[in-house]
Structure 1
Amino acid sequence: MRNQQWSKVKKKLDSFICDSLKNRVQFTVTNYRKAHDQLGRAFITVDKKEILNMCTITSDIEMYRKENEIRNAQSIEYDVYNGHQNYQIGIQAHEMIKAEGFFAQYDFFDAVEEYFNLPIEKALKSDDMVIKILSLVDRRVGKRTLEGMKESIQNEKEIIQYFYNLRCEADRIMKLYKKFR
């Protein structure tokens, strides 16, 4: 997907948005040319208000902190020559920050690519928050499916509940049971 132009990916993503949210939910990617890696951020807006920011720099800072936290908790000193250990700690830290809601722009691209290749039933059950958000605004998810998720959605993170409530409100399924800040 990274080889595809963002405009084509965005067009495809937009085609999956349900009619009731068509002009309300937007996906945006911004690259910073002067950044060392020329990456930037991706973000999701609802009614022109930024709801989810996936900034590479913020994610990298959180990952660095989390790696240090892991090393300190396990009394492991950084060893430049132990590539395998550093890699494993990096993977663990990355999964932890994603679970906490810190995403980089490349996490967004990876999630979009996976989302495009998943059946909607599997996308709704994904452990990846971005994939779950994309599937909650997907036109292939019907009212009965949303109503069936009413109980399980209460165990989800607040951002997932926000998009679930947004969709239910837009489709006039039920009243909101919890507001997102």
Structure 2
Amino acid sequence: MSEMKMQWSKLKKRIESNFCEELQDRVTLFSTWYKQGGSPGKGRAAVLLDKTEIYEANTDKWLMNKQETNDNILIERFEFHKLLEEYSSCSIEELLVSKHELIRGLAIIDKRVGKRTLINMNKLEGEFMKKLYKVRCEIEGISIKDTI
């Protein structure tokens, strides 16, 4: 495993500053590693909405399972960081069509996404994206489509 390119606190601040203003205090990125495990690579990361975990990246679970769970492909902590670094260097158009649910979900709450884009979104996959879409639409005063 390669080391993270950007310091976690800087990466976290950079990503969270892109969230729409109304969600900057409600959506939080979290990451920790387990000192006792003997490896800085072991740990977990998460996305929290109103202090409730809605997305998890857990190295131990990933090592044990390496399979699909709860509509999410379980990823490990380093992958979480790598995806956030990718997020910080892409245009909003690229983020919205990413193959990674984490990136597409965070793009939904990005301040660069306007009402028209939100209204035109169709069929969101995964609970993570649906939760973020719902909260963003509530903030923007957009009626949520039954098909999403």
TM-score (norm 1): 0.72
Q: Which residue of 1 aligns with 2:103?
A: 131
Where in structure 2 are the equivalents of 1:14-29 lying within 5 Å?
Answer: 14-29=16-31
* C-alpha contact 1:169 1:176 (8 A) present in aligned 2: no
The question of whether the paired residues in 2 share the 8 Å contact of 1:120 and 1:140 is answered with yes
Aligned counterpart, 2:94: 122
Equivalence for 1:173: 142
Map of 2:35 onto structure 1 = 33
Q: Secondary structure at the match of 2:29?
A: strand
Cα deviation, residue 159, structure 1: 2.0
Cα pair 1:137 1:163 within 8 Å, conserved: yes
Matched, 1:60 2:63: yes
Structure 2 counterpart SS, 1:34: helix
2:68 paired with 1:109? no
Q: Which whole-Å deviations, capped at 9, do the CAs of 1:34-76 have from their partners, x for residues lacking one?
A: 113223111111111111111110111112xx5xxxxxxxxxx
Q: Which has the higher helix share?
A: 1
Label 1:47 to 1:176 Cα distance change in 2 as closer, same or farther (>3 A).
farther
Q: Which amino acid aligns with 2:111?
A: R
* Distance 1:114-1:3 versus aligned 2 partners, 3 A rule: closer
- Partner of residue 10 from structure 2, selected from 8, 11, 15: 8
Counterpart of 2:48 (choices 34, 45, 49) is 45
Q: How many residues are treated as equivalent by the alignment?
A: 144
Alpha-carbon offset, residue 142 of structure 1: 0.6
- Relative to the length of structure 2, the TM-score reads 0.87
Structure that is richer in strand per residue: 2
- Secondary structure (helix, strand or coil) at the match of 1:43 reads strand
The unaligned stretches of length 5 or more in structure 1 are 67-95
SS at match of 2:17: helix
Contact 1:165 1:176 in 2 (8 A): no
**Is the Cα contact below 8 Å between 2:32 and 2:44 reproduced in 1?**
yes
SS across alignment from 1:16? coil
- Structure 2: 5+ residue stretches without partners: none
State the Cα deviation string for residues 96-144 of structure 1 (Å, max 9, x = none): 67x7431111111111111112111111011101111111111100111
Please give the root-mean-square deviation of Cα atoms over the aligned residues, in Å: 2.2
Q: Which residue in the other structure is 1:152 paired with?
A: 123
Percent of paired sites with the same residue: 33
Question: Counterpart in 1 of 2:131?
Answer: 162
